[in-house]
Chains A and B, each alone.
Chain A
Amino acid sequence: MSRSASLPPRYAHRTLWTLLAIFLSPLAAYADPVFFESKLQKILFLQDYNTRIVVIGTSILGAACGLSGTFLLLRKRALMGDVLSHTMLPGVVLAFLLGTTFGYEKTLPLLLLGAAIAAGLGSLSVLMLRRISVLGDETAMAIVLSFFFGIGTVLLSIAQESATGHQAGLESFIYGKTASLTRGDVQWILLGSLFSLGLVLLLFKEFRMLCFDEEFTGCQGRPVVGLDAALFAVVIVTTLVGLQAVGLILIIALLVIPPAAARFWTDQLHHTTAVAATIGALGCWSGVTISALAPRLPAGALIVLSTAFLFLISLLFGSRRGLIGRLIRWSDTRASVGKDHLLRAFYELSESHLKWIRLEDLAGLRSWTPRQLQRLLKRARKRGEVIRGNANTWKLTDRGHLLAAHRTRNHRLWELYLIRYAHLATSHVDRAADRIEHVLGPELVHHLEQELDQRPPYAPESPHPILNPEESR
């Protein structure tokens, strides 16, 4: 199980390069010459220019959000993404108002600049509020978020009254205009994503240390505030460029859901970032594809929904912490422990010579309910380990006997080991190991066997008295 977790860290770079490839791979779609007739094929193979633009833009954005969101999540500041996006609204509107006042057309760079400044102010206010008052993180974030969003809404209504029709586009910052992204928008997304990726690559190990242990980071002479600012910069930039794509309300989903989903697949940070980026990109791609097939549905919301669907898949099927995998492992363990117990019960009642054993004797040996015992016996009979005689008696087959002897021997060796080597034992005990020698080494096992008054190949005697079924009743 720990195999997959033990990939050497040099994979960090390989995965991050793969990540870069993922970022850039949609560009390859530009070169696709094949013509397909059906709409589905057209969309799936990105033949429609518009769909192509949208898919490329949002997929890159999804990957960038997954990447930067991972650190936000690990820094335990997931909600900060929401704060940043909401504080951007007054900045955008103010930039727009200023722009029109001074005669500039509504230009994207100006609006983005306004949003960036507002987000910077917003995050600064959160940090300040927390510092100078007894308010916790959440309270400070809620106050700043709603305050800035309130200002933004007021400014927006002013803009709508005063300006001359240009302001219609402002709404797209709130709800997103996924389906009508332009090539220019996508270029901004690409630029912002590359910036985030670059900063993360440069500061990967520092970010890891910061998120894991802030105090230690400070002790290592690394500026905690500076690193936090860099982390915020990564998130702010991805949020900025993603604002138009999915809108400020939904972008938090892209920041938080992919990294949360990634945790179910891996226990390594560099893999987490890679998986999160992939899930983000996949979610965006599938969302856009669905919306292209059903143009009436809002694309931004579809992106979020399909990302959430991927989260659900991860929650259930994730290879590391997925629910189903855990259930399977749990029931596997339960089954194998049950089998062990049954075989050992047989062996301890008959030791080296086979004989018929009454069901009551078996039942008295352990705290089985009659049903559990019946089920265990049924399974063991199916595997050919026991046979049933008349009048509820049972006997091990030759095969079962050999197996039982082996299991009992292992069990007793482990038991002795735990008694003898208590100081280092617990971490090494692996009862599931078929051959104890693989874990403890043949020498130690030989030593233990000798101590147990060895009688291989059958099981040595138990180091503690075995409960007599007659007495226990």
Chain B
Amino acid sequence: MTITHASQTTQFGSEHAADAALSIHDVTVAYHRRPVLWDLDLDIPRGVLASIIGPNGAGKSTMIKACLDLIPRISGNVRILGEPYRQIRGKVGYVPQRETVDWEFPVSALDVTCMGLYRKIGWFRSIRRPHREKAREALDRVGLADFAHRQISQLSGGQQQRVFLARALVQEADIYFMDEPFASVDVATEQAILELLRTMRQEGRTVVVVHHDLQTAQNYFDWVVLLNTRLVASGPMKETFTSENLRRTYGGRLTLLEEAGRALSQAQAGLPHEE
């Protein structure tokens, strides 16, 4: 299986397949009998901010999890930075959805951030001062320097999200997968996170983000993967994020979204801006 796919890659894969940050080939994922992802085939080049966009249940999170071997694939293979994930775990960062953990857990923001270093620290060794310094720096970068010792349930939702980002930052990975980092955070946090993502891109890292907000997608990202169980389109934002493609992604539902979006932007325009 793997061999055939590999040869397909060389035959049909575009030229960036070799130096792609993420290349997914023929990936199918199913929960029980229902396929969630279908024959997914795509490449994401290095150094871009890429967004995965699609309706609820389109398999956005599933795609990330399938890339990280968190759920089994029925078929297909994934290359991250040209290698199977298993071999380059250390270069891959992951920011899960905030709801996946129990925030009452007895750890501080610093403890959670340090978890990003456990791999480097190694088995059976304890966390030492340099590790904590590094974690503190990461917390500083996400604007949580003053909250290092807070128990995580005493942080707001946006701050919790940023703790997760700090934990990913200390990994100093080359490619990051983030599952809805913008979900239910306020505007200020959203800007702070975006700022961070742009810095990461400047540093040459690739960031793949599951995103749900069509309004902001265009401004935030430079690459887009439109997904609805199967791949609708994948490419640079400008050429790919077309109304035609969006209609194919969302089906009839998009008109609803568009109307809602228009109403929203009108409402915002009508409000006096406090600056």
- Which residues of chain A have a CB within 8 Å of any CB of chain B? 2, 5-6, 8-9, 12-13, 74, 76, 202-206, 208-209, 211-213, 215-216, 218-222, 263, 266-269, 271-272, 422-424, 426-428
Q: For the complex, would chain B's binding face be called helix, strand, loop or mixed by DSSP majority?
A: mixed
Say whether B106 contacts A427, CB under 8 Å. Answer: no
Say whether A220 contacts B96, CB under 8 Å. Answer: no
Q: Within residues 188 to 214 of chain B, which ones have a CB less than 8 A from any CB in chain A?
A: 188, 191
CA distance A197 to B89 in the complex (A): 31
Say whether B68 contacts A209, CB under 8 Å. Answer: no
Q: Within residues 82 to 128 of chain B, which ones have a CB less than 8 A from any CB in chain A?
A: 89-90, 92, 94, 96, 100-102, 105-108, 110-112, 115, 118-119, 121, 123-124, 126-127
* B interface residues, how many (CB within 8 angstroms): 40
Chain B nearest CB from A212 CB (Å) reads 5
Say whether A206 contacts B107, CB under 8 Å. Answer: no
CA distance A271 to B106 in the complex (A): 9
Say whether A220 contacts B119, CB under 8 Å. Answer: yes
Most buried by B among A6, A12, A203, A266: A6
CA distance A271 to B121 in the complex (A): 22
Chain A nearest CB from B182 CB (Å) reads 16
| A and B contact pairs by CB, cutoff 8 A, 25 listed | A2-B149, A2-B150, A6-B148, A9-B110, A74-B105, A74-B106, A76-B102, A205-B121, A212-B101, A212-B105, A212-B107, A213-B100, A215-B70, A215-B100, A216-B167, A218-B69, A219-B89, A220-B118, A222-B119, A268-B108, A269-B105, A269-B111, A422-B188, A423-B188, A424-B188
B132 within 8 A of A: yes
Which of B21-29, B151-159, B237-245 forms part of the interface with chain A? B151-159
CA distance A361 to B200 in the complex (A): 58
Say whether B105 contacts A211, CB under 8 Å. Answer: yes
Closest to A218 in B: B70
Contacts of A216 in B (CB 8 A): 94, 96, 115, 167
Chain B nearest CB from A436 CB (Å) reads 16
Contacts of A204 in B (CB 8 A): 126
Say whether B107 contacts A222, CB under 8 Å. Answer: no
Say whether A208 contacts B107, CB under 8 Å. Answer: yes
Closest to B123 in A: A206
Contacts of A424 in B (CB 8 A): 143, 188
Q: Which of B111, B123, B132, B159 contacts A208 (CB 8 A)?
A: B111
B38 within 8 A of A: no
Closest to B147 in A: A427
Say whether B156 contacts A427, CB under 8 Å. Answer: yes
CA distance A209 to B146 in the complex (A): 23
Contacts of A206 in B (CB 8 A): 118, 123
Contacts of B90 in A (CB 8 A): 221
**Contact status of A219 and B92, CB under 8 A, knowing A205-B126, A208-B107, A212-B101:** yes
CA distance A271 to B147 in the complex (A): 19
Q: Which of A13, A212, A219, A422 contacts B94 (CB 8 A)?
A: A219
Contacts of B112 in A (CB 8 A): 212
Chain A nearest CB from B22 CB (Å) reads 15
Say whether B159 contacts A427, CB under 8 Å. Answer: yes
Contacts of A5 in B (CB 8 A): 108, 149-151
Say whether B115 contacts A221, CB under 8 Å. Answer: no
**Contact status of A205 and B107, CB under 8 A, knowing A9-B132, A212-B112, A267-B151:** no
Contacts of B92 in A (CB 8 A): 219
CA distance A5 to B191 in the complex (A): 30
